[in-house]
């Protein structure tokens, strides 16, 4: 198929960006979206132009590196996938596809479609861990039974890949699905209880400091999340924070 | 330099304990004055960074991604082995040790493997304490599954995302230390050279991938944890950015590179669909527990299928060749990875490949669906169930076991694997070879260590399923933090290593000249053009089966490709900015050098062992006819290569492997 | 606890708490207004009680006013903050793919409701204050008569079609506001399970309450 691409080009964080039109031809429907981008970049390199910079790494939907806003949706029109798992069969011959970086004040653009998601790192550093030494001299792994239900629910929260689609898609650029998932993982496990109050306070404080917006419960994040992280995690974080303050 | 593995004396089971008791320690007050650089923050590098920082060292950690959490350890699906014997099925440290050495086709170092098996149990305790949500049974205790044809259930797992959860565990431990200021994290940085001062590794030159700035970083020791080099094949299950650069740079500065030809080719990957393909996707080996692998018996059926005139489901049982069940009646579809991969290649080479590229075989769940469905009908007391009902019940069970994999397959291939057989083909997955290290995990450059997939040590010529995660974390959490202290104990009075020395000047100059050359070359071909060419040579001639003629050709072709690359490569963009093409160019340049050494190593090893199959070294008759033939008399050694200017001129050093606690046997799966 | 209400989550919990109060108030208001249709006498009596009872006037009314003002002011503050957090928006954004229009535009429905409240205050509350506290007439009677004035005043207001239209439009927006707000408030206070269970109740509330007010306005328009 032949496609017209409208892509955000921006030289670096201090430059102004703009949308630029490109044409690609003979795109196979079996290609992944990023392979289509590879075709475009190969074309640009061969004509001496600078290729479009975009983040990507594992190309199997788990590293959370890829981050495009495609036709008005984070990771494009398919559900439960990252951009690298989006396939060109979702598009038709002759389509015009708009490709933008994830946008949020807390995610400044570094170049073209690459954004800086260090805010997520700092939130995790504020408390996204259990303070246990890595000596290996902890108690035996089976000494605390954890109900299968709690373990499974913690796993569902922990499955977050930190891609930032929730922030990108939220009209308020709120990071609460991301933070809620992390808070929930530990809140659901007995190991996480000791520091639960400090953890949620510190992580929320850092989240606010980073300039993310507030959650207005539109639920867009849950729909666009490639890993299907549930809104329940935000509610749980709200509860945890209330609990921590009472 | 003579190779000294520094394996401690004494009985195998006491070596590690005795060694730890006698090792030099650094007092906590002195650790504050010692810096350690860790390059790579996957399971090995991440866990090592966290532990070293916790001990009190000042750690500088480097990752080319924007976060340690994105390292490719995250993509590991199946699980992690540990000799916990929670299932009471006879597992023990010795048995895990034995399985690993045997699985590695007797080409690993006994003492290292035994230590790995010993610390495996600590890993699980540690990860649970960190909040890793491993799967549990209804009693609330940890669940296990069996994996890769071993006889016990010792694999711990977190859904199909075990690597992700373990990495996030190590990442959380890192975050704790980053917050304390004990780890200084350098995201989006790539190491481009190691700096050796007075024979010791004392720092690195790194490029800031956002600004393009070339930076000097000094430390008292350098740890390389940069993973494997599977991307030398262009197409592999590795991440796009996975590279050999850090390992190759230290090789060029004096670290020996061991067994580069040992590559694991995983049998259950989604086949290539066209030339545009950028990477391959692995599906868990667990699929082979229920799927039956076949190709059509007759070539005209193959043709009809390729032309779309027939569907695989049209073929009767008689028209199908379940070649693994035919060739290996004892193990059937559950033969080890290397055997399954070679068998698929053999059928496809004979023209039986079932997709347009001719490189795919079927993995069929129809029989499993009927089997499970019939069983369910009995459990649910349904008398005379219809075929449709049986299928419906069976599909539910298959969905519960493999649902996420089936969904992934459907997303990529756009076919419903519940209705039609999946297509699979082997793909490069893991490299057992790597930087040579001694028992302390130190390379042949003093003060330079290699851990995780980047080193060569524990898996011999073939790695067992669910052992990569175990090794990465064992090295990082529990081995390196001890052994590095023994070396650093001599550095307590050294003081901060200055970066304004001639050694740093020289290393930086070299790095700058190289990247400036690439940018200014203004050639005619893109970096990917060369990477794809290299990949094709590697796959065709250093792939699943190798022969002398092919390997010799490969060496010549790769050398020619390298010369062409340096003449005609085109790298757009500038130096002082984010430039992904420049990053790729540097990595591919190193792959082209490694590829040649790879071929040379494969050529030298005139035996078949594990992932390395030499066509000249196969059983010629008897029941094992056509199977791999190992040669313990002449090749029970580690090939450690010393760099001498050109990969072809590398000098071979042999570390003889001694097996005192294990009897060498031929692997048979007939 | 002070720190809690300064945090983003604390603020949205505060929004939810004020919303709960306002939603309860709406029900109460609707119930009394419905009396004006079914039983004008009782309506008059209840109105007089509400208008003159000191507990209602000097304890509940200030709380209500505070809740209304707080809900609006905090709503605006959060909206401004949220707009700042948003990195300038997209060239192409397909919001409809993942959320409802009314959940994304609470500020628009909110502003419409605010405009309505201003009108409503001019219509009822200010005259009421004038009569009771400035003129000092606490009798609740029509001037010079022995009948309560409340029902008469209410009916009189809805004589004008423009006002009825304004009321109907405002209540449609109130419905949209509630269609998201009802369940959203439960989510904000952490009651995720209730949010899902009360989905139908929330929808019913968001439709029936504004519809009730609309019916009352139209009824009086045609029956004055």
Tens-place pLDDT, residues B586-618: 999 999 999 999 999 999 999 999 999 999 999
Contacts A–C by Cβ distance under 8 A:
148
Structural domain containing residue A204: 117-134+144-245
* Residue C224 scores a pLDDT above 80: no
Closest Cα in chain A to C191: A235
Per-residue pLDDT averaged across B38-46, rounded? 98
Sign (positive/negative) of CA torsion B288, B467, B83, B47?
negative
Which residues in chain A touch residue B164, judged by CB atoms under 8 angstroms apart? 62, 159, 161
Q: Which chains touch C (3 or more CB pairs under 8 A)?
A: A
Residues A80, A159: one domain?
A: no
Q: Which residues of C touch A107 (CB under 8 A)?
A: 87
> C2 touching A, CB under 8 A?
no
C60 DSSP assignment:
I
What confidence score (pLDDT) does residue B622 get? 86
Residues A85 and A122 in one domain: no
Q: What confidence category does residue A124 fall into, taking pLDDT thresholds of 50, 70 and 90?
A: very high
Task: Look at residue B70 and tell me whether its pLDDT is greater than 70.
Answer: yes
| β A3-9/B214-218 pair status | unpaired
Q: Which of C180, C22, C9 is nearest to C104 (CA)?
A: C180
pLDDT band at B147 (very low <50, low <70, confident <90, very high): confident
- If asked whether residues A222 and A174 sit together in one domain, one would say yes
Contact A28 B281 (CB under 8 A): no
Location of each CATH 3.90.700.10 domain in chain B = 266-428
Q: Rounded to whole angstroms, how far apart are CA atoms B459 and B479?
A: 16
A209 and A121 within one domain: yes
CATH architecture observed for domain C2-84+105-222: Up-down Bundle (1.20)
CATH number where A14 lies: 3.10.20.30
Report CB contact under 8 Å: A53, B578: yes
Residue B74: pLDDT band with limits 50, 70, 90 = very high
Q: Average pLDDT over chain B, rounded to whole?
A: 95
List of chain C residues whose C-beta atoms are within 8 Å of the C-beta of residue A9 = none
Considering the domain architecture, whether residues A155 and A220 belong to the same structural domain is answered as: yes
- Check whether A164 has a pLDDT greater than 70: yes
| pLDDT tens-digit series, residues C60-112 | 999 999 999 999 999 999 999 999 999 889 999 999 999 999 999 999 999 99
Mean pLDDT of B383-396: 94
Q: Closest chain B residue to A128 measured between Cα atoms? A: B172
Query: Does the beta carbon of C98 lie under 8 angstroms from any beta carbon of chain A?
Result: yes
Angle CA(B16)–CA(B155)–CA(A85) in degrees, nearest 5?
Answer: 120
Q: What is the mean pLDDT of residues B482-486?
A: 96
Indicate which CATH number applies to the domain containing A174: 1.10.1060.10
The verdict on A122 and A239 lying in the same domain is: yes
CB pairs under 8 A between A and B: 218
- In this predicted structure, the answer to whether residue C11 has a pLDDT above a threshold of 90 is yes
> Confidence class of residue B400 from pLDDT cuts 50, 70 and 90?
confident
Comparing CB atoms, the residue among A72, A173, A232 nearest residue C92 is A72
Interchain CB distance below 8 Å, A141 and B125? yes
- pLDDT at B149 > cutoff 80: no
Residue C1 has pLDDT above 60, yes or no: no
Q: Which residues of A touch B570 (CB under 8 A)?
A: 45-46, 48
Topology of the domain comprising B12-24+32-262+432-491: FAD/NAD(P)-binding domain (3.50.50)
User: What does the pLDDT average to over C190-213?
Assistant: 94
- Rounded to two decimals, the ipTM of the complex is 0.98
Same domain for A126 and A107, yes or no, is no
Q: Which of residues 140-169 of A touch C (CB under 8 A)?
A: 169
Answer yes or no: is A226 within a domain: yes
Between helices B548-568 and B580-604, what is the axis angle to 10°?
160
Question: Would you call B164 and A85 a contact, using CB atoms and an 8 Å cutoff?
Answer: no
What Å distances lie between residue C213 and C23, C61, C151, CA to CA?
14, 21, 15
Chains in contact with A, where contact means 3 or more Cβ–Cβ distances below 8 Å, are B, C
Residues in chain A with CB shorter than 8 Å from the CB of B123 are: 136
What burial class does residue C83 get, using C-beta atoms within 10 Å of its C-beta: 0-12 exposed, 13-18 middle, 19+ buried? middle
Per CATH, is B505-635 categorized as 1.25.40.10?
A: no
- Of the candidates A30, A124, A144, the beta carbon closest to that of B274 is on A30
Q: What percent of chain B has pLDDT over 70?
A: 99
The mean-pLDDT minimum among A104-118, B145-159, C126-140 falls in: B145-159
Cα–Cα distance, B81 to B154 (Å, whole number): 5
With an 8 Å Cβ cutoff, are A136 and B478 in contact? yes
- In the prediction, which pLDDT does B334 show? 85
Q: Which of B69, B154, B337, B587 is catalytic?
A: B337
Mean pLDDT, to the nearest integer, of A51-62?
Answer: 97
Instruction: Output helix, strand, coil percentages for chain C, rounded to the nearest 5.
Output: 80, 0, 15
pLDDT of residue B285: 83
The reply to whether A87 and A149 lie within a common domain is: no
Please list every residue in chain C whose beta carbon sits closer than 8 Å to the beta carbon of residue A81.
none
Q: CB distance from C165 to chain A under 8 Å?
A: no
Task: Note which residues in 94-113 of chain A have CB less than 8 A from chain C.
Answer: 98, 100, 103-108
Question: Whole-angstrom Cα distance, residue C50 to residue C65?
Answer: 15
Residue-level pLDDT at A163 = 98
pLDDT at residue B75 greater than cutoff 90 = yes
- The token duo for B565 is 């690359």
Residue B551: pLDDT over 80: yes
* Rounded Cα gap, residues B293 and B340, in angstroms: 10
Provide the pLDDT for residue C26: 97
CB contact (8 A) between residue B477 and residue A134: yes
pLDDT at B1: 58
Picking from C72, C81, C83, the residue whose alpha carbon sits closest to that of residue C19 is C72
Q: Where are the domains of chain C?
A: 2-84+105-222
pLDDT tier at A36, thresholds 50, 70, 90: very high
Interface contact B187-A121, CB threshold 8 A? yes
Confidence of residue A132 (pLDDT cuts 50, 70, 90): very high
Chains A and C touch (3+ CB pairs under 8 A): yes
- Facing residue for A171 by CB, picked from C84, C104, C188: C104
CATH topology for the B266-428 domain: Flavocytochrome C3; Chain A, domain 1 (3.90.700)
Could you give the CA distance from residue C216 to residue C37 in angstroms, rounded to a whole number? 7
Average pLDDT of A49-71?
96
Are A124 and A235 part of one and the same domain?
yes
Name chain B contacts of A57, Cβ cutoff 8 Å. Answer: 65, 70, 72, 239-241
pLDDT surpassing 90 at residue B625: no
What is the C-alpha separation between A187 and A182, in angstroms, rounded?
Answer: 9
B506: Cβ–Cβ under 8 A, 6 or more apart, which residues? none
Please check the confidence at residue B670 and state whether its pLDDT lies above 80.
Answer: no
> In the predicted model, is pLDDT for residue B273 greater than 90?
no
Alpha carbon distance A166, A219 (integer Å): 10
Distance, in Å, from the CA atom of B464 to the CA atom of B319, rounded to the nearest integer, reads: 33
Into how many domains does chain A fold?
2
Note whether residue A75 is domain-resident. yes
Query: Is residue A139 domain-resident?
Result: no
CA distance C44 to chain A (A): 40
Judgement on whether residues A188 and A71 belong to the same structural domain of the protein: no
Q: Of C87, C94, C189, which is closest to A105 when you measure between CB atoms?
A: C87
Q: Residue range B277-305: average pLDDT?
A: 93
Flag if C90 and A208 touch (Cβ within 8 Å): no
Cα–Cα distances in Å, from B98 out to A227, B92, B145, B340? 38, 10, 19, 22
Q: How sure is the predictor about B148, in pLDDT bands with cuts at 50, 70 and 90?
A: low
Q: In terms of domains, do A89 and A121 share one? A: no
Average the pLDDT over B91-116 and give the result: 96
Residue A208: half-sphere exposure toward Cβ, Cα within 13 Å: 16
Tens of pLDDT, residues B409-442: 998 999 999 999 999 999 999 999 999 999 999 9
Note the pLDDT tens digit of each residue in C109-122: 999 999 999 999 99
Residue A135 has what pLDDT?
A: 82
Q: Locate the chain A residue with the closest alpha carbon to B86.
A: A142
Give yes or no: B337 in active site: yes
What is residue A74's predicted lDDT score, i.e. its pLDDT?
A: 98
């Amino acid at each position: 198929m032949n496609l017209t691409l409208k892509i955000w080009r921006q030289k670096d964080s201090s430059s102004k960006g703009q949308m630029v039109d490109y044409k690609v031809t003979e795109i196979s429907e079996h290609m992944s979206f990023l392979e289509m981008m590879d075709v475009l970049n190969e074309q640009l390199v061969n004509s001496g132009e600078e290729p479009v910079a975009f983040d990507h790494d594992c190309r199997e939907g788990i590293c959370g590196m890829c981050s495009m806003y495609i036709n008005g949706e984070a990771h494009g029109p398919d559900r439960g996938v990252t951009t690298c798992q989006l396939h060109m069969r979702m598009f038709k011959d002759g389509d015009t596809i708009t490709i933008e970086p994830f946008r949020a004040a807390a995610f400044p653009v570094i170049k073209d479609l690459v954004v800086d998601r260090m805010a997520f790192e700092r939130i995790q550093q504020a408390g996204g861990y259990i303070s246990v030494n890595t000596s290996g001299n902890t108690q035996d792994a089976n000494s605390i039974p954890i109900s299968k239900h709690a373990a499974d629910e913690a796993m569902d929260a922990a499955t977050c890949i930190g891609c930032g689609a929730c922030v990108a898609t939220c009209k308020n650029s709120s990071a609460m699905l991301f933070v809620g998932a992390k808070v929930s993982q530990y809140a659901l496990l007995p190991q996480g209880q000791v520091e639960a109050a400090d953890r949620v306070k510190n992580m929320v404080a850092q989240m606010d400091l980073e300039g993310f917006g507030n959650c207005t419960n539109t639920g867009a994040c849950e729909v666009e999340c490639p890993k299907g992280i549930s809104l329940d995690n935000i509610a749980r974080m709200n509860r945890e924070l209330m609990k921590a303050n009472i | 330099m003579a190779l000294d593995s520094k394996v401690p004396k004494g009985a195998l089971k006491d070596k590690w304990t005795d060694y730890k008791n006698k090792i030099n320690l650094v007092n906590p007050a002195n650790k504050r004055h010692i810096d350690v650089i860790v390059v790579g923050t996957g399971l090995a590098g991440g866990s090592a960074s966290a532990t070293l920082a916790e001990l009190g060292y000042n750690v500088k950690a480097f990752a080319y991604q924007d976060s340690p959490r994105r390292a490719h350890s995250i993509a590991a699906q199946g699980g992690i082995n540990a000799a916990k014997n929670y299932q009471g099925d006879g597992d023990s440290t010795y048995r895990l040790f034995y399985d690993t050495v045997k699985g590695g086709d007797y080409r690993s170092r006994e003492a290292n493997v035994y230590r790995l098996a010993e610390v495996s149990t600590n890993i699980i305790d540690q990860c649970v304490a960190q909040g890793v949500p491993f799967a549990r049974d209804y009693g609330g205790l940890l669940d296990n599954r069996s994996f890769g044809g071993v006889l016990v259930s010792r694999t711990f797992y977190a859904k199909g995302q075990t690597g992700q959860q373990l990495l996030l565990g190590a990442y959380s431990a890192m975050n704790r230390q980053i917050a304390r200021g004990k780890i200084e994290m350098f995201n989006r940085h790539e190491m481009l050279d190691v700096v050796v001062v007075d024979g010791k590794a004392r720092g690195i030159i790194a490029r800031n991938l956002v600004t393009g700035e070339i930076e000097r970083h000094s430390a008292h020791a350098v740890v390389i944890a940069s993973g494997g080099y599977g991307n030398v094949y262009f197409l592999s299950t590795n991440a796009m950015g996975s590279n050999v650069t850090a390992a190759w740079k230290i090789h060029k500065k004096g670290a020996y590179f061991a067994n580069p030809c040992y590559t694991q080719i995983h049998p259950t990957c989604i086949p290539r669909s066209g030339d545009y393909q950028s990477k391959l996707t692995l599906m868990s080996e667990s699929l082979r527990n229920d799927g039956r692998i076949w190709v059509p018996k007759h070539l005209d059926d193959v043709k009809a299928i390729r032309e779309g005139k027939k569907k695989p489901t049209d073929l009767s049982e008689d028209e199908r060749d379940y070649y693994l069940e035919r060739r290996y009646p004892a193990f059937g579809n559950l033969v080890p990875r290397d055997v399954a991969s070679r068998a698929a290649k053999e059928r496809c080479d004979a023209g039986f490949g079932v997709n347009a590229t001719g490189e795919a075989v079927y993995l069929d769940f129809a029989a499993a669906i009927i089997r499970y469905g019939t069983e369910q009908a009995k459990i649910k007391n349904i008398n005379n169930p219809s075929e449709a009902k049986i299928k419906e019940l069976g599909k539910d069970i298959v969905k519960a076991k493999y649902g996420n994999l089936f969904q992934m397959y459907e997303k990529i291939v756009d076919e419903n694997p519940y209705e039609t057989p999946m297509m699979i083909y082997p793909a490069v997955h893991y490299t057992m070879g790597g930087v040579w290290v001694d028992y302390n995990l130190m390379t042949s450059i003093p003060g330079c260590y290699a851990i995780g997939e980047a080193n060569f040590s524990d898996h011999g010529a073939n790695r067992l399923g669910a052992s990569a995660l175990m090794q990465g974390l064992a090295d990082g959490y529990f081995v390196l933090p001890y052994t590095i202290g023994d070396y650093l104990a001599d550095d307590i009075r050294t003081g901060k290593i200055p970066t304004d020395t001639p050694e740093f000047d020289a290393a930086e100059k070299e790095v700058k000249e190289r990247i400036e050359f690439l940018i200014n070359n203004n050639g005619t071909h893109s970096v990917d053009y060369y990477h794809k060419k290299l990949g094709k040579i590697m796959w065709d001639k250093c792939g699943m089966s190798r022969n002398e003629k092919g390997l010799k050709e490969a060496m010549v072709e790769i050398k020619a490709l390298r010369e062409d690359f340096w003449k005609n490569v085109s790298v757009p963009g500038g130096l002082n900015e984010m430039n992904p093409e420049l990053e790729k160019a540097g990595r591919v340049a190193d792959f082209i050098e490694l590829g040649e050494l790879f071929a040379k190593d494969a050529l030298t090893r005139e035996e078949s062992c594990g992932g390395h199959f030499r066509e000249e070294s196969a059983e010629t008759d008897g029941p094992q006819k056509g199977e791999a033939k190992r040669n313990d008399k002449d090749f029970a050694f580690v090939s450690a290569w010393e760099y001498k200017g050109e990969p072809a001129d590398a000098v071979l050093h042999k570390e003889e492997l001694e097996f005192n606690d294990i009897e060498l046997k031929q692997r048979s799966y007939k | 606890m002070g720190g809690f209400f300064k945090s983003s989550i604390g603020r949205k919990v505060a929004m939810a708490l004020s919303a709960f109060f306002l939603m309860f108030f709406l029900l109460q208001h609707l119930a009394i207004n419905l009396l004006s249709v079914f039983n004008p006498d009782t309506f008059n009596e209840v109105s007089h009680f509400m208008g003159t009872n000191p507990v209602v006037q000097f304890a509940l009314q200030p709380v209500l006013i505070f809740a209304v003002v707080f809900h609006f002011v905090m709503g605006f503050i959060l909206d401004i903050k949220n707009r700042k957090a948003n990195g300038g928006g997209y060239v192409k954004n397909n919001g409809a793919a993942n959320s409802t229009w009314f959940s994304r535009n609470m500020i628009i429905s909110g502003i419409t409701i605010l405009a309505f409240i201003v009108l409503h205050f001019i219509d009822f509350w200010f005259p009421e204050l004038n009569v009771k506290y400035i003129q000092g007439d606490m009798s609740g009677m029509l001037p010079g008569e022995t009948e309560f004035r409340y029902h008469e005043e209410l009916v009189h207001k809805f004589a004008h079609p423009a006002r009825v239209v304004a009321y109907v439009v405002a209540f449609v927006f109130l419905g949209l506001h509630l269609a998201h707000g009802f369940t959203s408030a439960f989510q904000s206070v952490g009651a995720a399970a209730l949010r899902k269970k009360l989905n139908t109740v929330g929808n019913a509330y968001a439709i029936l309450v504004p519809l009730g007010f609309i019916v009352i306005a139209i009824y009086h328009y045609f029956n004055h």
